[in-house]
Structure 1
Amino acid sequence: MKKYDYLIVGSGLFGVIFAYRSKQMGKNCLVIDKRPHLGGNVYCENIVGINVHKYGAHIFHTSNKEVWDFVNNIVPFNRYTNCPVANYKGKLYNLPFNMNTFYQMWGVLTPEEASAKIEEQKAEAVKMLNGREPQNLEEQALTLVGKDIFEKLIKEYTEKQWGRKCSELPAFIIKRLPVRLVFDNNYFNDKYQGIPIGGYNKLIEGLLDGVECLTNTDFFNSEYRDWQKYADKLVYCGPLDQYFNYQYGKLNWRTVRFETETKDCPNYQGNAVVNYTSHDESYTRIIEHKHFEMFGQEVYDCPKTVISKEYSTEYKEGMEPYYPVNDDQNDQLAERYRHLAEQEENVIFGGRLAEYKYYDMAPVIEKVLNIKNI
């Protein structure tokens, strides 16, 4: 029987970057994934010539030049810049909150006018609290940006995301809300951002070139559960609580349901991301996938388009877990499981599921690149 240096459970970014590095170090590994494809949540499926982000929009951004150079060495990235738009009851507002937003909201023309309007509304919220600290998300947001922005661009959108009223959500969820007093619609502050040219599958294929992989292979329902027979070490990227057979109970997640459809037109909404911030629509946003990779005339050279409506929902068994629920109960439970994980010999726990932490893509890559002695 062939024995590997590493058995890697899960082919998301943590797993595939680890596999790539282990291959560079002369180690051999086997990557297994229960899904019928590789790439985890960055996997794209091609529909009418468009790379569709099957598990939600993934926009790569980082200020770490080492990470940016690393991924571009695998596949070059394009110039996509994330500039989402918010639709509130048929009126459009630029995101993140910047001078375009404030002009659309109040008609103000200068940073001084915008700042004065925000400070006026913040003062009303602070007066309402009468000297006490904000007790929930609603009070926290009102003290940061005031009533108008909160009610049109935060309140109902957040309630759709979490399935709870803002007055019932903890204040720490919104520790800060960036306010830009410049006309800048670029959502991220990072120095680098883009999408792999040809889609994320190109990145995954490049990272896994020469690596042995198995799909449709569930770690917990296969021979590989007894992993010591097959490898010296295990890299586990699945759910943290499941590894320990839920012995302390199950961790909670939020998840997302997608409705994807092909439209018989070249340009449906004119932007990759449009958030729907009122309860008038049950979905949180619409993604138009072609705008991640097609620009200018390319948009119209492709006669159809593909959109995905996103519905935030409570996690149920069999769904894909997306967002950890960072309340006191889940944080304490996760810490108990992390303590168990630290005691596991020759097992590396990595990634969003295995660490019960929400990660953007670049920090995951950075974390693996910083692992010594692979």
Structure 2
Amino acid sequence: MSKFDYLIVGAGLYGATFAHLAYKQGKKCLVIDRRSHLGGNIYCESIEGINVHKYGAHIFHTSNKQVWNFVNSIVEFNRYTNSPVANYQGKLYNLPFSMNTFYQVWGVTTPAAAIAKLEEQKAEAVAKMKADGATEPRNLEEQAQLLIGKDIYEILIKGYTEKQWGRKCTELPAFIIKRLPVRLIFDNNYFNDKYQGIPVGGYNKLIDGLLEGVETKVGVDFFDNRDYWESIADKILFTGKIDEFYDYKFGMLEYRTVSFKQEIHDCPNYQGNAVVNYTEREVPYTRVIEHKHFEMFGTAVNECPITVISKEYSTEWEPGMESYYPVNDERNNALAEQYRTLAIQEKNVIFGGRLAEYRYYDMHIIIEKLLTNRFE
């Protein structure tokens, strides 16, 4: 007889939320993770009293009130508002593209003047394409200039994107940038969602709350003793890499990955903002994260005499590295579909999350999907 109703492979947000909801419905669950900690990529490491987002900045945002109420029922969220800025050759620009950005780039002060400048630059991009004999954008550079014009593309998109993807924008497909947000208001709030914030006390509080009452084991690799783990539960929720589950039967899926260089500075405030993007190609990192700003506001920032920053580097993924972002090109999409076809035939295995579905998910989408699960 099986000991558990569910074995949950992976203690990230998907696995922890699944375990929480199943446990609330009387299911006995065991959560295992190959890492030495719970929480997956939202895990926070406490350094000098600051919750450091070990695997990159995570900001929770949603317009779904049910989702917002659910996460706040686990832990209270603060009022953090994501308002990144971009540094290009020492000058700062507000993100997303808003009236603040247009004023910083062109000196325009009204929406009408901003629209006129945007339309002028878009027309130049169209004319250049026609002169080259093209009727549709042939690469990311042309697509971006059709959407936002040459000036903003050169300052805020080109270098940053080339660092993210490790290749020139003229070598990237146009579909990567399908649209770019343009706001004709002086508003630096990055998200349009109604609710956003960070768990008070960090994301570990959210994970601990979700897994309260659930048995967990860390430092355990499902694949080291697969037969045993498959024997102890009626069903498995698998949140790891789908190609690994099938022993790379059709080939290995690819990812983009990021790495972080962490620094502790003997000052209360390093850059005055949680996230600063570095958009010129010559700066090797894509952004600098100053973690205290996610949870400390106003005078509280200066009350903590030190600060922790992380410089984020985008690199080509190789086997053995952390797998962050699925590569949505023709080869990988076709390969992922082959694995998904196998997955839907499984009777006792559920595949869920970014790695198991080979799809990138914002956190609120994961919660939203799982709140409709019936746990049969």
Rounded Cα–Cα distance in structure 1 between residues aligned with 2:229 and 2:33: 14
Structure 2 CA distance for partners of 1:146 and 1:139, relative to 1, 3 Å:
same
- Asked if the contact 2:88–2:279 (Cα under 8 Å) also holds between the matched residues in 1, the reply is yes
In structure 1, the partner of 2:303 is 301
Question: Deviation of residue 2 (structure 1)?
Answer: 6.2
2:322 corresponds to which residue?
320
Counterpart of 1:182 in structure 2 is 185
Say whether 1:155 aligns with 2:158: yes
The whole-number CA distance in structure 2 between the counterparts of 1:88 and 1:312 is 18
Alignment of 1:92-241 (within 5 A): 92-130=92-130, 132-222=135-225, 224-241=226-243
Detail structure 1 runs of 4+ shifted over 6 Å in the superposition.
Answer: none
For residues 158-188 of structure 1, what are the alpha-carbon distances to aligned partners after superposition, in whole Å with 9 as ceiling and x for unaligned? 0000001101111111000011110010000
Question: Who is 1:247 aligned against?
Answer: 249
What is the TM-score with the length of structure 2 in the denominator?
0.98
- Structure 1 residue 30 displacement after superposition: 0.3
Q: Report what 2:15 is aligned to.
A: 15
Match of 1:271 among 266, 270, 273: 273
- Verify the 8 A CA contact 1:287 1:309 in the aligned structure 2: yes
Write the deviation string for residues 244-265 of structure 1: whole angstroms up to 9, x where unpaired: 0001000010000100111000
Does 1:36 pair with 2:36? yes
Instruction: Please state whether the residue corresponding to 2:151 is helix, strand or coil.
Output: helix
Structure 1 distance, partners of 2:229, 2:214, is 18
Q: Which runs of 5+ in 1 are unaligned?
A: none
Tell me the CA shift for residue 331 of structure 1.
0.4
CA RMSD in angstroms comes to: 1.0
Query: What are the Cα deviations for residues 310-349 of structure 1, in whole angstroms up to 9, with x where unaligned?
Result: 0000111221000000001100000000001111121100
Quick one: distance in 1 between partners of 2:109 and 2:14?
A: 46
Matched AA of 1:296:
G
The residue matched to 1:31 in structure 2 has which SS? strand
Does structure 2 retain, via aligned residues, the 8 Å contact 1:19–1:29? Answer: yes
Q: Secondary structure at the match of 2:359?
A: coil
| C-alpha displacement of 1:225 | 4.1
Residue equivalent to 1:261: 263
Give distance in 2, aligned partners of 1:228 and 1:121.
59
Look up the equivalent residue of 2:167 and give its one-letter code. Answer: R
Is 1:75 the equivalent of 2:78?
A: no
* Deviation (angstroms), 1:227: 3.4
Aligned to 1:285: 287
Residue 57 of structure 2 corresponds to 57
Asked whether the equivalents of residues 89 and 280 of structure 1 are also in contact (C-alpha less than 8 Å), the reply is: no
Deviations 1:93-112 (A, max 9, x none): 00000000011001111111
Corresponding residue of 2:346: 344
1:157 and 1:279 in contact (8 A); partners too: yes
Structure 2: runs of 5 or more not aligned: none
**In 1, Cα distance between the equivalents of 2:322 and 2:276?**
23
SS in 1 for 2:273: coil
Whichever residue aligns with residue 84 of structure 2, its letter is P
Aligned position for 1:3: 3
How far apart are residue 228 of structure 1 and its match? 3.6
Percent of aligned pairs with the same amino acid: 69
Q: Report the TM-score, using the length of structure 1 for normalisation.
A: 0.98
CA contact (8 A) 1:227 1:234 kept: no
SS of aligned partner of 2:312 = strand
The DSSP-based 3-state class of the residue aligned with 2:127 is: helix
